[in-house]
Chains A and B, each alone.
Chain A
């Protein structure tokens, strides 16, 4: 019972405390401590769901089932490892003079607050609160993206704010329409916004209203997932902020937005007979994969390139959820997990690589494996993992998705294969150039924290080789929910 409260209160308390002392020497350790507390609460919740199954809490305001509990665990875990990474990283940034005292306070407080909003989106049962938390997640990260106060970061943060704000306003309209449809059956008041109740009556919801609502919600939350053509903010926002922020934005926020979309997809599928939502998801997902692969090959900034890679993978996951069915949904969930772990690991190494070389442009980074073998090999393995090379977990999920595509929607297979191929060639070529070759990097003031990188990559490798039965069962049950 206390686990849900602890899950949310830990980061909230962390934000309050760090808002005051975030610039002190021990602030980074405090950050890690609060993230550890959050992770402990998440672990407790996982244990509970495995024992009892899905349950609601706090007067039905929170709902934990197999779909969101693994995302909660993933979010808490990646937040923890990112906070470990951010310890030396932000110290180096501070020594280079890129962040001030006030900036450090803001950074640490917003980091915890961001974790809080994401966990709120994941665990709340109230669709309206879900929207409020989603908007809050955008707001907490806007100032973080602009932390360095350069031209580029201000522009990125402005675009991020305006585009995501406009998008999320559409999502609000969609939520109002869903409430409108629900009110006719469940009566007005809070119960018409609770997902569990809506799920039980989804067959009776008005189809026209739900289809219009889903379109608005897709445009709204889809902007936050980074679906093409609403993705313009993503490469800039992920590239210009501090690396820990890029890691959590790429690794976690995209997943959380997609989660919100899935919850609504379940309702829409129940209300409409035809596969309207599925078709839309497939269309946008496929477009994202193709367009992202194309833009990816033309990037010169390393973080932008990996940001486009995030768009591509999220497009792939959206496509998988659009296809539906037990295999595709399972693959989608697995891919969410491994992508999150791998992408954050990559951003960790990229962050330190950029710090060492003093630039984010790929032509300026060379010979990493000579300067720091850990960073070099970390980047190499991370890139291999994200490109879907066996035996990493990404290969397993991509393989499952591709087999389903060839079986059910063969027309999409060439597009997917070509796009994946294009991005493979682009990323592999560039990473190889950066890792090997004549070194151009300097020594760093603090030792980089690379344990998180290898922990993530080890997990991804593990998931590629062997998925523990309770995890597989968990995914399967979540996949069943999605339909």
Chain B
């Protein structure tokens, strides 16, 4: 039964991941944004666990555990603490209005699916169809980063991009070797911590975390 329903469930989780990426794109409140990010981490954890069960690869369990600890608990906790201390709970305005953003998002999704199609056909995993969705969520997080003017959503977009990449690795190649995955996790954690420190410095210097203040070094 697991062979039959397992891949379908993974496909369903992939679809939920894409849904969460779109939800993050259209979300206005920073608090909900961080919760959506934690939900993404949870979906990743479930998907990795499922793939581990289907394929019997034990290192994926470790991978899933690291994902759970890092992306569902640690990173959202760091982000929550950050916005509490920065006092940035207000509504986030986007640089482009939301319906237009959605249409861009759909175009990016189509692009990603087309790009990933030839690779998916060559894959030998049962979860190969999810590569397109992973690439799509990477591109959507990237879109979110460039259309936000406040710093904290940009940070969340950056972390969500890494989520998409992790999912791509899980779906296409059953996860990278453990050393690499641990290294990536460490990088992400350090990046989040550095960003936290950084935002404080920006905030103390500019009295705001609106990144439109950070555009003075343009070309003369």
Q: Indicate if the CB atoms of B145 and A143 lie closer than 8 Å.
A: no
A183 to B187, CA, bound (A): 24
Scan residues 224-260 of chain A and give those whose CB is less than 8 A from a CB of chain B. Answer: 236
- 9 pairs of A and B residues whose beta carbons are closest in the complex: A128-B180, A132-B183, A155-B214, A135-B187, A190-B177, A180-B173, A176-B169, A169-B161, A236-B217
Q: Contacts A158-B198, A208-B122 known; list 20 others, CB within 8 Å.
A: A128-B176, A128-B177, A129-B180, A131-B180, A143-B197, A154-B206, A155-B214, A155-B216, A158-B151, A158-B214, A161-B194, A165-B191, A172-B165, A176-B172, A189-B177, A190-B179, A209-B119, A212-B119, A295-B219, A299-B220
Q: Give the dominant DSSP class at B's interface.
A: helix
Asked if B109 is at the interface of the complex by the 8 Å CB criterion, the answer is no
Partner of B173, one of A142, A159, A176, A298: A176
In the complex, whether A409 has a CB less than 8 A from a CB of chain B is no
Taken together as a complex, chains A and B put the C-alpha atoms of A166 and B157 apart, in Å, by 10
**Is residue A151 within 8 Å, beta carbon to beta carbon, of the partner chain?**
yes
B216 to chain A, nearest CB (A): 6
Say yes or no: A157-B179 contact (C-beta < 8 A), given A166-B145, A212-B115: no
- Which residues on B sit within 8 Å (CB–CB) of A150? 205
Residue-wise, chain A 140-171 has the 8 Å CB interface mask toward B (1 for contact) of: 00110010011110111111011001100100
Please determine whether B187 and A136 come into contact, CB atoms closer than 8 angstroms.
Answer: yes
| B158 touches which of A128, A166, A177, A206 (Cβ 8 Å) | A166
Give the number of chain A interface residues (Cβ < 8 Å): 47
On whether A146 and B198 interact (CB within 8 A), knowing A128-B177, A151-B216, the answer reads yes
Asked whether A169 lies within 8 Å of B198 as measured between CB atoms, the reply is no
| Contact across chains for B119 and A142 when beta carbons are under 8 A apart | no
A208 & B118 in contact (Cβ 8 Å cutoff): yes
With an 8 Å Cβ cutoff, the count of chain B residues facing the other chain is 46
When distances are taken between beta carbons in the complex, the residues of chain A under 8 Å from B62 are: none
Q: Mark B108-144, 1 if CB is under 8 A from A, else 0.
A: 0000000100110011100000000001001000100
In the complex, A126 has a CB within 8 A of chain B: yes
In whole angstroms, what is the CA distance A152 to B213 when docked? Answer: 10
Minimum CB–CB distance for B114 against chain A, Å: 12
**The one of A136, A156, A176, A177 that contacts B190, using a Cβ cutoff of 8 Å:** A136
Q: Quick one: closest A residue to B183, CB to CB?
A: A132
State in angstroms the CA–CA spacing of A179 and B206 once bound together.
43
Interface residue B37 (Cβ < 8 Å from any Cβ of A): no
Q: Can you list 21 residue pairs at the A/B interface with Cβ under 8 Å?
A: A128-B183, A135-B191, A136-B190, A139-B191, A155-B214, A158-B198, A158-B211, A159-B217, A161-B194, A166-B142, A173-B135, A176-B173, A177-B172, A179-B169, A188-B174, A189-B177, A190-B179, A193-B177, A193-B180, A208-B122, A295-B219
**Does B201 sit within 8 A of A, measured CB to CB?**
yes
Q: Is A197 close to B, CB under 8 A?
A: no
Query: Is B202 in the interface zone, CB < 8 Å from A?
Result: yes
Q: Does B186 contact A (CB under 8 A)?
A: yes
Give B40 Cβ to nearest chain A Cβ, in Å. 15
- Chain A residue with minimal CB distance to B175? A188
**What's the minimum C-beta distance from B59 to chain A, rounded to whole angstroms?**
9
Question: How many A-B contacts at CB < 8 Å in the complex?
Answer: 128
Q: Which residue of A lies closest to B219 (CB)?
A: A295
A155:B217 contact, CB within 8 angstroms: yes
Pairwise interchain contact A143-B198, C-beta atoms closer than 8 A: yes
Do residues B122 and A179 form an inter-chain contact, with CB atoms below 8 A? no
Q: What is the CA–CA distance of A6 and B216 in the complex, to the nearest angstrom?
A: 44
- Chain B interface (Cβ < 8 Å from any Cβ of A): 115, 118-119, 122-124, 135, 138, 142, 145, 151, 154, 158, 161-162, 165, 168-169, 172-174, 176-177, 179-180, 183-184, 186-187, 190-191, 194-195, 197-198, 201-202, 205-206, 211, 214-217, 219-220
Judged by a CB distance under 8 angstroms, whether A446 is at the interface is no
Shortest beta-carbon distance, A2 to chain B, in Å? Answer: 22
Q: Which of B151, B173, B195, B220 contacts A188 (CB 8 A)?
A: B173
Residues of A within 8 A of B158 (CB): 162, 165-166, 169
Within 8 A of B (CB), among A166-209: 166, 169, 172-173, 176-177, 179-180, 183-184, 188-190, 193, 206, 208-209
Nearest B residue to A150, CB-CB: B205
User: CA of A118 to CA of B205 in the docked complex: distance in angstroms?
Assistant: 31
Q: Is A94 an interface residue (CB 8 A)?
A: no
Whether A180 pairs with B205 at a CB distance below 8 angstroms is: no
Residue of B nearest to A169 (CB): B161
Q: Which residues of A contact B183 (CB under 8 A)?
A: 128-129, 131-132
Closest chain B CB from A308 CB (angstroms)? 10
Q: Are B119 and A166 in contact (CB under 8 A)?
A: no
Given A152-B216, A152-B217, CB of A173 within 8 Å of CB of B202: no
Which residue of chain B has its CB nearest to the CB of A61?
B179
CA distance A165 to B141 in the complex (A): 13
Whether A98 is near chain B, meaning CB under 8 Å from some CB there, is no
Whole-angstrom distance between the alpha carbons of A149 and B198 in the complex?
10
Taking a contact as CB atoms under 8 Å apart, the answer to whether B142 and A298 are in contact is: no
Q: Of B168, B201, B217, which is within 8 A of A156 by CB?
A: B217
| A286–B142 CA distance with the chains assembled, in angstroms | 27
Task: Tell me if A24 counts as interface (CB < 8 A to partner B).
Answer: no
In angstroms, Cα B144 to Cα A54, docked, is 46
Give chain B nearest CB distance to A140 CB in angstroms.
9
